[in-house]
Structure formats: structure tokens, C-alpha cells
Amino acid sequence: MPIREPKIVSRFVISIFLAFMVIGTFTFIVQAAGDHPEKAWRAYLINFLLFSAISQGGLLFSIVMNTAGARWSRQLSGVSESFAAFFPVSFVLFLILFLGRAHVFPWLDMELHGKEVWLNLPFLFSRDLIGLFILYGLGFAYLYHALWFKLPLGSGRPGLSGLLRRRWQHRPTDLGKYRRRMTVYGNLYILAFALVLSLIGFDLVMSMDPDWYSTLFGAYTFVKAFYVGLGAVIILASLLHLHPKVDFSLPASQFHDIGKLFFAFCMLWGDFFYVHLVVIWYGNIPEETAYMIQRTQTAPWHALAWTVFVTGFILPFLILINKRIKTLPGAMTVLCTGVIISIWLEHFLLLGPIYSPSAVQLPLHIADGLISLGFLGLMAASVSVFLNQFPEVLGPQPSEAHR
């Protein structure tokens, strides 16, 4: 008879996440069918980029820690790996993006002056689709082997957890082989993460203004993804730690360690944000400067640029200098939430002027928030299902001798 264990996330909470999804989906459909469908697809693209980056960067934390042989983060690895549950959703969301191609890509009716070889829809969607398929495939391959070390053997659980246990029941427990495979898949994921995130940044953000280019934009994109991924891992770990009914607890030292890593990528992202401005200002090339001038010196975007820089870098930098803050899960939850919101605004800063070139005030509407709420519900529901299916990932890792 299948074993029923207590759920990490209650059905009531998951139903709230599903309600968020319904609200966001309804808002998107209504706006996409209205007079300005480009606004709906702009919000869709921004949220696809942000939440996909969170899931990709969230899993990367576990992989980087495994590659580095860091023992302090073992209990956090399960929290990190839960974000891979959003990978299939992200893949489907990218396919849906093709339906709004006429509203998403402004260069479809533009003279591209020889760039048609790269900027054409069949090639763009094909290469991005293949890239995401490889990235997510490597992520799942790593996760498969990571779960092998975490799940106890037995076939009494329903669903995917029970299926994996039954499959492993008849496998030789070759620890060295699984450890080596896990490391290889992890290293390949790191490589794919850098390459695919760079490609996504070039194709879905930088190409929206086909006259502008930046050789630094690819690195900027994957650094930003790891930054928000770390923030999401800290938020989820803090919520689980503070939940009285969840058997998950982290010592202050581990919150401090991941807080230091978050602090490091805060500085790295701020450096990339600033370097873009300095290099373009120094080069003084019209194709590059026009892009930055519009976003940093003209209304209404200049105020948003300063808001992003202050909330995404200045405030986290000043706050995280304090050692004690890094050990407080409640404070870190608030801080990381603020950073993720600032990165949402940063995506809006990059894409907004393209879709609203003559705006006299920020074209932010309640629909943008409701569509974002729908994406939040999608991610939260995906992670919740994973944690309910594999609650063992939150506990101490089984000894290798037992495996």
C-alpha cells in the first residue's frame, strides 16, 4: 500500500498559487485580445525571462557547490534543485512566445542591413529552442543523479518518487559511477548555462533594438540569472526555515555563507551594470550611445534606471556589509524579494522603450502586475509539487555508505 507522508506545502497554499495562475492567465488573454496586445506580450516576455532565469540560476547553485566540493551547502542543495521543476514550464512558455511573434519582435518589418541572416524567426526560435532543450536536459540529468543520493530505496511512495525508487531498486549501488556522472553533467550544465543564457540575452533582449549591440551583454545576462537564482534559493530556504510545521532548519552560519555569495554577485552585477555605461560613454559610438541615453537620461526612463541601480545594487550592498543581516532569514527574505523586483524593473527598462517609444510616463499598469502574479503562481506551484513529491531533499543527505 502506498505510503502517505505529510506534505511540505499544503493543498490550500497550492490552491492559492493556482488562483494566481488563473488571474494572470485571464489578464493576459484579455489584454492580448484588446487594442494593445503588444503590452500583454511585453509583460509575458519580461516574466518569461525573469522566472526562467530564477529557475536556471537556482539549480546552478547546487551544481556549483557540488563541483567545488563545498560541504556547508549540502542541506541547501535540495532547496536549490527544487527550482528545476520549472524547467518544463519554461520550455512550454517559450513555445507559446512564438504565437505572439508579431508583437514581440519589432524588427520583423524593419530594414536590417544584412542582419537578416541572424535575425529571422525560423533560425531564432530553432536555435533558442535547441539551446533550452540542451540546458534543461543537462539540468534534469544532474538532478536525476542528485536524487539518487538523497532518496532512500523502496517502492512504497506514489508518483514520480516511487517510480524512481523502483527503478533504482534493481540497480547496482555503484557510488563512484554516479558521483562521476553527476559531476560531468553538472560541468556541462555550467557551460550550457553560460552559452544558452548569452544566446537568450542576445536574441530576446538585445535584438529588440537591432541597431544596438554589446559584446558584454551575454555575460551580463547569465551573471544576472545567477544573482536572482541565489536570491530565490535564499527566499525559499528562509520560508522553509521559518515554517513551524516543516522539518527544515539551517544554522545561522549557513545563512551567512550563502548571504556572502549573494553579496558577491550583487557586486558583480552592479559592476556589469556600471561597466556597460562607462564603456559605451568612452567609445561614443552613436549606435551604442542612443540606446543608453534613452534609458538613463530621458524621461520617463531615467528615474527607473536610478531606481533599478539603487534597489538592485546600492541598497543590498550597504545592507549586506552588516554580518548579522546575513544570518536573519526574515530580513534576507525581504532583501532578496526587493532585488528580484528590481531585476523585473531592469528587464522593463531594457524592453519598455522599444514597445512604448513615445511614452511620457512609465507605461506600467496593473495588468503587468497581474500577469507577473500568474508567473509567480506557476513557479511557486511547480516548486511546491517537487517538494511534496521529494520531501527527503530537505533532510540531511543519506550517508554514502548507506547508499
Question: Could you report the per-residue pLDDT of 341-398, keeping only the tens digit for each?
Answer: 999 999 999 999 998 888 889 999 999 999 999 999 999 999 999 999 888 888 655 4
Any residues with CB less than 8 A from the CB of 281 and at least 6 apart, and which? 289, 292
Residue for grid cell 540531511: 396
CA 170 remoteness from chain centre: 36
Answer whether residue 330 is part of any domain.
yes
Determine the average pLDDT of the residues in 259-286: 87
In this structure, what DSSP letter does residue 361 have?
Answer: S
Residue 2 has a pLDDT of 46
Any residues with CB less than 8 A from the CB of 75 and at least 6 apart, and which? 248, 250, 254, 394, 396, 397
Q: Mind giving me the DSSP string for 230-288? A: HHHHHHHHHHHHH-TTS-----HHHHHHHHHHHHHHHHHHHHHHHHHHHHHHHH--HHH
Res 403 pLDDT > 50: no
Residue for grid cell 553579496: 263
Answer whether residue 73 is part of any domain.
yes
- The whole-angstrom separation of Cα 37 and Cα 32 is 4
Res 402 pLDDT > 80: no
Neighbour-count burial of 292, counting CB atoms closer than 10 A to its CB (0-12 exposed, 13-18 middle, 19+ buried):
middle
Answer whether residue 400 is part of any domain.
no
Neighbour-count burial of 302, counting CB atoms closer than 10 A to its CB (0-12 exposed, 13-18 middle, 19+ buried):
middle
- The whole-angstrom separation of Cα 53 and Cα 47 is 10
CA 26 remoteness from chain centre: 23
Res 167 pLDDT > 60: yes
- The whole-angstrom separation of Cα 342 and Cα 270 is 12
Count of beta carbons in the 10 Å neighbourhood of residue 382: 22
Any residues with CB less than 8 A from the CB of 366 and at least 6 apart, and which? none
Of 53 and 244, the one with more pLDDT? 53
pTM of the model: 0.93
Helix (H, G, I), strand (E, B), or coil: what is residue 62? Answer: helix
Answer whether residue 243 is part of any domain.
yes
**pLDDT tens, position by position, 300-335:** 999 999 999 999 999 999 999 999 999 999 999 999
Answer whether residue 154 is part of any domain.
yes
- The whole-angstrom separation of Cα 282 and Cα 280 is 5
Any residues with CB less than 8 A from the CB of 324 and at least 6 apart, and which? none
Answer whether residue 403 is part of any domain.
no
Helix (H, G, I), strand (E, B), or coil: what is residue 304? Answer: helix
Determine the average pLDDT of the residues in 25-51: 95
Answer whether residue 1 is part of any domain.
no
Number of domains in the chain: 1
Res 257 pLDDT > 90: yes
Answer whether residue 399 is part of any domain.
no
Residue 158 has a pLDDT of 66
Range of the domain at 73: 11-107+116-394
Query: Of 39, 51, 41, which is closest to residue 340 (Cα–Cα)?
Result: 51
Any residues with CB less than 8 A from the CB of 331 and at least 6 apart, and which? 325
- The whole-angstrom separation of Cα 246 and Cα 395 is 10
**C-alpha distances in angstroms, 315 versus 125, 270, 335?**
38, 11, 9
Helix (H, G, I), strand (E, B), or coil: what is residue 291? Answer: helix
Determine the average pLDDT of the residues in 218-244: 95
